[in-house]
Amino acid sequence: MPVFIYKVENSDGAVLTGESNIESKERLIELINKNGYKVIEIVEKNFITDVSQIGLFKKKVKLGDLAQFCRQFSIMLEAGISIAGALDVLRTQTINPTLREVLTEVYNNIQKGLSLSRVLRFYPNIFPNILLSMVEAGEASGQLDRVFVRLADHFEKEHKQRQKIVGAMTYPIIILVIAIFVVVVMVVKVIPTFGNALSGMDVELPKITQIMLKISNAVSSYWYVFLFGIIVLVIGIKVMLGTEKGKKFIDNILLKLPMVASVIKTMMTARLT
């Protein structure tokens, strides 16, 4: 089923954006009009929109940023400050530029009369589903301050768990990087040197040696092609991670890797405990 990115305007003039997984553009327009919004723009999500939306050079909103936001927001709400007042303070004090920009947009829409849960749902790439669902429940029960306390605890715990996992994986990653560096030096510098020395001898080289020399010559002569291929691969993976199908495909691959699978299972267990 296709995914559409839309931009709409409500009766108060507030501009909202979001995504919808729906069978057709016409059906989405029908639903938007039915809910009293005016369509500004609708585009189907594809490779180009994925790249622009993901923002390869845009600073991500991490768990630590969300934990800090929820903690500060909960303190202000418990102190009797209004939602708009708290957002007004946080949007100027938040260090992360991406989150600061989003909080400014949220604040502007809150000022126009929209509920917090409704506005936050237009930023699914910033705020996870657990936050969106709990904020909606908090508004319904009138306990929004307690909800943000629990959210802060949750994100802080998950952030610490992720830091432990990253710390445990740092050494293997360093070893892997060093190994890759050694292989590259061997292929680009060492093997060609031996190749030049052996080329002057009237002897037939073993097949494996001939293959290694050919690979070395190809990498040395067309290094820019290999570099371009690596860049395309990295961008492609990042784009895939920005789509539901891509995430499932990457997850299926990762879960088949023994060491990575155990790390993922540890993270998921930490979320549920």
CATH number assigned to the domain comprising residue 111 = 1.20.81.30
Q: Given 141, 156, 171, which residue is the final one in a domain?
A: 156
pLDDT given for residue 56 in this prediction: 46
pLDDT value of position 245: 77
The pLDDT, as a whole number, for residue 266 is: 67
pLDDT of residue 25: 84
**Residue 165 belongs to a domain:** no
Strand pairing of 3-9 and 15-21?
Answer: antiparallel
Pairing of strands 38-44, 15-21: unpaired
Question: What CATH number does residue 33 fall under?
Answer: 3.10.20
Which residues neighbour 38 within 8 Å (Cβ) at sequence distance 6 or greater? 8, 9, 10
Tokens describing residue 179: 């190994």
Report d(CA 32, CA 7) in Å as an integer.
Answer: 10
The number of folded domains in the chain is 2
Query: In terms of residue numbers, what domain contains 92?
Result: 63-156
What is the reported pLDDT for 195?
A: 74
Q: Is 41 helix (H, G, I), strand (E, B) or coil?
A: strand
Tokens of residue 127, six digits: 């705020």
Give, for all 273 residues of the chain, the pLDDT tens digit.
677 888 888 777 667 777 777 888 888 888 888 888 888 888 876 654 554 454 444 668 889 999 999 999 999 999 999 999 999 999 988 889 989 999 998 998 898 888 899 889 888 888 988 999 999 999 999 999 999 999 999 999 989 888 887 787 788 889 989 998 998 888 888 887 877 777 767 667 778 878 888 888 888 888 888 889 989 988 888 877 767 677 788 778 877 777 666 766 666 665 555
- Residues 75 and 150 both lie in one domain: yes
What's at 187, amino acid-wise? Answer: V
Q: Of 156, 184, 199, which one is at a domain's C-terminal end?
A: 156
Is residue 209, in this structure, part of any structural domain at all? no
- Which pTM does this prediction carry? 0.62
Contact 224, 230 (CB under 8 A): no
What distance separates the 2 farthest-apart alpha carbons in the chain? 88
Q: Among 110, 125, 156, where does a domain finish?
A: 156
139: helix, strand or coil: helix
Closest CA to 136 of 120, 157, 152: 120
Same domain (yes/no): 145, 89:
yes
